[in-house]
């Protein structure tokens, strides 16, 4: 589904990603962990098509096609979803209105009939209930004045509505209380099926108790320095990242 090979990315004259190789197959859940500043969000943004990054080497293929030449909206239409680490507040743009526009833009791009207001609202309310997002938030401006946890729930809500093929969740668990964490995890698990894949960026092994990953990768200084199964997260939890550096040095 996703093949990242030898990806080098810079911002300005600083190289942030220094050769990432990662293959994600349908049905898989990959967790990416790693110290602050190691490049996890950069990778997420590059996959979603944010401007301001320069790919200096390497390639990314999605469903067999070059991903990097596509606009962010084209990627969304192809089923990629990014849950932001810091969701932006957008004053004056109504959450429901925006989401209806988003889902219909995607349906249109894929040759499907657009949802009418009634069907959309029914569906959105159901999904909001599923992820425990207070319905009153639906009528507010996108993320405006939302608490940190509400913003993250809103990301999961949008994911649930858009039903992406590949969800990249950048620290969606940070700032969530225990109940919210469980709900977010349920949201992700509900989406799990043999056709879809998830990349979870997280600092906490706790999330992985709820969403059991197939692979865990450690990103450090722009490289994946270790990959393993779920048990790698437990080791990291216990030992931190220091031992990886020592292991790398010897």
Partner 1 sequence: MNTAADMVARYCAELASIAPTLPAAEVPWIQQTRNKARDDFARLGFPTRLQEAWHYTNVGALQRRFFALESTDFSVGQSTIEPLLYPGLDCHRLVFVNGVHAPELSAIGALPKGVELENLATALTRTPEQLEPFLGARGQQTEHAFNALNTALLRDGVCLRLAPNTRLDKPLHLLFLSTGEARENCAQPRNLILAAAGSQAVVLESYHSLDEAACLTNSCSEVILEADAKLQHYKLQEENHQSYHISSLQVQQARDSHFESHLLSLGATLARHELNVDLNGEGARCDLNGLYLGNDRQHVDCHTEIRHMQAGADSRQNYKGILDGRARGVFNGRVYVHPQAQQSNAEQSNHNLLLSANAEADTKPELEIYADDVRCSHGATVGQLDDDMLFYLRSRGLPEDTARGLLILGFARNLLEQMPLKTISARLEQKLIDILSQSHGLKSLI
Ligand X SMILES: Nc1ncnc2c1ncn2[C@@H]1O[C@H](COP(=O)(O)OP(=O)(O)OP(=O)(O)O)[C@@H](O)[C@H]1O
User: Would you tell me which residues interact with ligand X (CB under 6 A)?
Assistant: 11-12, 14, 16, 34, 36-42, 85
Nearby residues of 225 by Cβ (< 8 Å), 6 or more positions away: 218, 219, 244, 248
**CB under 5 to 8 A by kind: which of Mg ion, partner 1, ligand X, none does 51 bind?**
partner 1
Does position 172 bind Mg ion by CB under 5 A? no
Please name every residue paired with 200 in a beta bridge, in sequence order, or none if there are none: 31, 169
Cα(193)–Cα(54) distance, integer angstroms = 33
| Region near Mg ion per CB under 5 A, out of 24-32, 49-57, 82-90, 97-105 | 82-90
Nearest approach in angstroms of CB 201 to partner 1 is: 15
Neighbours of 135 (CB within 10 A): 11
Q: What's the gap between Cα 178 and its chain centre?
A: 20
**CB under 5 to 8 A by kind: which of partner 1, Mg ion, ligand X, none does 39 bind?**
ligand X
Contact between 89 and 119 under an 8 Å Cβ cutoff? The reply is no
Q: What's the gap between Cα 5 and its chain centre?
A: 19
**119 SS3 class:** helix
User: Ramachandran region of residue 63, left (φ > 0), alpha (ψ -120 to 50) or beta?
Assistant: left
Among 93, 115, 123, 130, binds partner 1 (CB under 8 A): 93
Does position 88 bind partner 1 by CB under 8 A? yes
Nearest approach in angstroms of CB 85 to Mg ion is: 5
Does position 91 bind partner 1 by CB under 8 A? yes
Does position 106 bind partner 1 by CB under 8 A? yes
| Binding residues among 35-54 for Mg ion as defined by CB under 5 A | 40-41
Cα(58)–Cα(19) distance, integer angstroms = 7
The binding site for partner 1 (CB under 8 A) comprises 48-52, 71-73, 75-77, 81-82, 84, 87-88, 90-93, 97-99, 101-106, 108-109, 141-142, 158, 162
The binding site for Mg ion (CB under 5 A) comprises 40-41, 85
């Amino acid at each position: 589904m996703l093949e990242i090979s030898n990806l080098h990315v810079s911002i300005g004259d600083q190289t942030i990603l220094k050769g990432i190789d990662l293959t994600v197959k349908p049905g898989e859940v990959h967790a990416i962990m790693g110290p602050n500043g190691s490049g996890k969000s950069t990778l997420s943004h590059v996959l979603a098509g944010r401007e301001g990054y320069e790919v200096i080497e390497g390639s990314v293929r999605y469903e067999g096609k070059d991903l990097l030449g596509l606009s962010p909206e084209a990627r969304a239409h192809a089923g990629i979803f990014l849950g932001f680490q810091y969701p932006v507040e957008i004053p004056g743009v109504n959450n429901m209105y925006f989401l209806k526009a988003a889902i219909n833009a995607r349906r249109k791009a894929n040759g499907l009939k657009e949802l009418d207001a009634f069907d959309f609202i029914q569906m959105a309310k159901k999904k909001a209930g599923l992820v425990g997002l207070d319905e009153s938030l639906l009528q507010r401006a996108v993320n405006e004045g939302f608490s940190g946890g509400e913003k993250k729930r809103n990301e999961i809500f949008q994911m649930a509505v858009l039903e992406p093929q590949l969800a990249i969740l950048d620290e969606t668990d940070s700032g969530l209380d225990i109940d919210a964490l469980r709900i977010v995890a349920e949201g992700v698990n509900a989406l799990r099926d043999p056709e879809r894949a998830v990349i979870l960026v997280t600092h906490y092994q706790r999330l992985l108790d709820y969403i059991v990953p197939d692979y865990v990768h450690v990103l450090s200084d722009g490289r994946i320095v270790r990959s393993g199964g779920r048990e790698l997260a437990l080791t990291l939890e216990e030992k931190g990242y220091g031992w990886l550096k020592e292991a790398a040095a010897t």
